Chains A and B, each alone.
Chain A
Amino acid sequence: METAKKRILTGNKAMAEAIALEMERDSNVFVLGEDVGKYGGIFGSTQGLIDRFGAERVLDTPISETAFIGAAIGAAAEGMRPVAELMFVDFFGVCMDQIYNHMAKIPYMSGGNVKLPMVLMTAVGGGYNDAAQHSQTLYATFAHLPGMKVVAPSTPYDLKGMMISAIRDDNPVVFMFHKSLQGLGWMDQLDASVEHVPEEAYTVPLNKAKVAREGSDVTIVGIQMMMHYAMEAAERLSKEDGIEAEVVDLRSLAPIDRDTIVKSIKKTSRLLVVDEDYLSYGMTAEVAAIAAEHALDELKAPVRRLAIPDVPIPYSDPLENFVIPGPERIYEEVKKMMRS
């Protein structure tokens, strides 16, 4: 009988391990960004890399997002495979030109001849009192623009497998990791931020959603923290109300896995979309549109959406908790839907 203890890793260790494995495998892979060296990334996603690979391959850069993202683009055009870290996704404002006009468009504008095999990883999400400029996910802002893949893994297993896929991908990939799922000691530690992660290198596709929980009564689509909250709500719905919710973890925002969403709606006939991003023009609207275009006749109730209202995220703890959807609100919303 197998009794070996399964190795447990936090989200950030899983990411760092993925990068280390790829750096070992391919000498063209290198890391650059702010505080990615001795500090190990402020959310720990590059921890230990500088000790193993040295400052030649783990570059602490000037505080100059346009420069290091532009430099990653140039290095990728020259044949390297850079992994650049934008410390907070909120900082995209100072460097978006390099991201969406260059990283996303150079492959196209070169007639497909210039490949940019680079990863732009960035920390997203709130829920820990970091205020309006350090708490956003901005999922839809990136997923809206053609030319890049945009992924947001929800578990340590997927963080590792999708990071390896992202590094090996010849297209630029925006890799969003959620701060709360990194397993950081200075945040509230969540069960969801640790799990068994195999030691070897493995890949998880960048275009496939995952059914995180099977159910027959209602489909809840979410990503990262919203997926975990949906799981909590689903357990309660099952226990207290006998409602079986199916939870779809999107994992990838662009491309979006429509088939998995439509298949689940056909099974449950009800759809709730939950998002830690602003409500208007967001991922919830995209998933609702998919339902309207491809599964309208299957729906027994109107599609419902839960997201952050169109207001900057408050610093105040009670207010922040009030705007970000949580398990309680998801539970209530599903109950309302089941009545209709």
Chain B
Amino acid sequence: MASKKSKQFDPVGTLQEIEKKFEMFQVLNEEGEIVNEEADPKLSDEELQELMRRMVYTRILDQRSISLNRQGRLGFYAPTAGQEASQIASHFALQKEDFILPGYRDVPQLIWHGWPLHQAFLFSRGHFKGNQMAEGLNVLPPQIIIGAQYVQTAGVALGLQKRGKEAVAVTYTGDGGSSQGDFYEGINFAGSFRSPAIFFVQNNQYAISTPRELQTSAETIAQKAVAAGIPGILVDGMDPLAVFAATRDARKRAVAGEGPTLIETLCYRYGPHTMAGDDPTRYRTSETDSEWEKKDPLVRFRKYLEAKDLWSEEKENEVIEQAKEEIKAAIKEADNTPKQKVTDLMEIMYNEMPQNLQEQYEIYKEKESK
């Protein structure tokens, strides 16, 4: 397709040119000051407060989920603290009709999209009712296979396009996920058909223990968009305003028929990879931890809002109390859900149960009645 001719032979220079262009996009610095007036998304006071409320709520949900897991009251859980700006501010730029294909750490976005808390808890416990998404809640359950949601996102986007819907398909993976074949195939496929999709890479620096440098020799993950011929942007993933602005822009272009965007958000997970035995001290130093804590999204956004007189300790405590109450009620609701049986699982597989399964069903039904 490219037909421009050049006498220059400079592959190294070409790469350097490309990499130079992927600088980190930031609106709000660590001190809570607007450093990029032009790119400020200019959210209303109410919107700013709501975004803060959601981030605080999500931080509490993370803390409570970790302790519920330690008490044995939750199962699988992947901590989210440190990634609130990447997760919540990106979701804040979406609409209800947008379709989310999350990774396993992306439970908060689903909750703010309308997934009831008690169902998220049931998902964590492996109960089949957890992932039974209500009609009109446009999401797939959290994906466990790394990167697999990327190609499915290309398909959801294709479906939205074919059905003429004014909506986008949005997916998330991590820095590790960006090394998977599905990542490349997904962005390439969506690019080929100019489908309305937004691909997020929450680069939280570690794939379990493997550092970002080992994933790729590419200076940034965002630049991988270049090979697929789609726009890519590197964003300060601890800056809610930058994440929001980048997502809003990508959504606008997607809905206008201008195709997909790859967004890399630079962030950090404070906690372990999951609650299943990961000890981050084996691969991270406390110096690195505290360096990133200085960039904390809640701290900088709180400073910014307090300076505008939009936030206070009192407001924050209200949110914390509300979150704790709702979490308590949700875990109770999860507890009250009837226990699942193997026959339940057999029932949800096919529209009509095939003969072989029907027989196995009868055997288990009898076992369960004892």
Contacts and interface: CB of A to CB of B under 8 A. Distances in A.
A172 to B, nearest CB: 10
Nearest to B132: A111
Interface string A285-318: 0000000000000000000000000000000000
B349 interface: yes
Nearest to B193: A59
Nearest to A59: B193
Contact of B151 (A74, A113, A207, A257): A74
B65 interface: no
Contact of B152 (A102, A170, A207): A102
B209 interface: no
Nearest to A255: B354
B337 to A, nearest CB: 12
Interface string A321-338: 000000000000000000
Interface string A129-159: 0000000000000000011010000000000
B73 interface: no
A71 B162 contact: no
Interface in B106-150: 128-133, 140-141, 145, 148, 150
A4 interface: no
B354 A75 contact: no
A171 B151 CA distance: 20
Given A71-B158, A74-B158, A66 B152 contact: no
B21 interface: no
Given A66-B181, A110-B141, A114-B140, A146 B349 contact: yes
B351 A170 contact: yes
B289 interface: no
A286 to B, nearest CB: 10
B354 A254 contact: yes
A258 B131 contact: no
Contacts of B185: 62, 64, 66-67, 70
B349 A107 contact: yes
B71 interface: no
Contacts of A171: 350-351
Most chain-B Cβ atoms within 10 A of its Cβ — which of A68, A80, A109, A147? A109
Interface string A161-189: 00000000111000000000000000000
A73 B152 contact: yes
A102 B145 contact: yes
Given A113-B132, A207-B354, A67 B189 contact: yes
A112 B140 CA distance: 12
B348 interface: yes
Contact of B155 (A75, A107, A111, A256): A75
Interface in A92-147: 97-98, 101-102, 106-115, 146-147
A258 B141 CA distance: 35
B348 A70 contact: no
Interface in B182-227: 182, 185-186, 188-189, 192-193
B356 interface: yes
Report the 3 A-B pairs with minimum CB-CB distance, sorted nearest first.
Answer: A74-B155, A70-B151, A78-B159
9 contacts: A70-B186, A76-B155, A77-B140, A78-B159, A78-B169, A106-B141, A111-B128, A113-B132, A254-B354
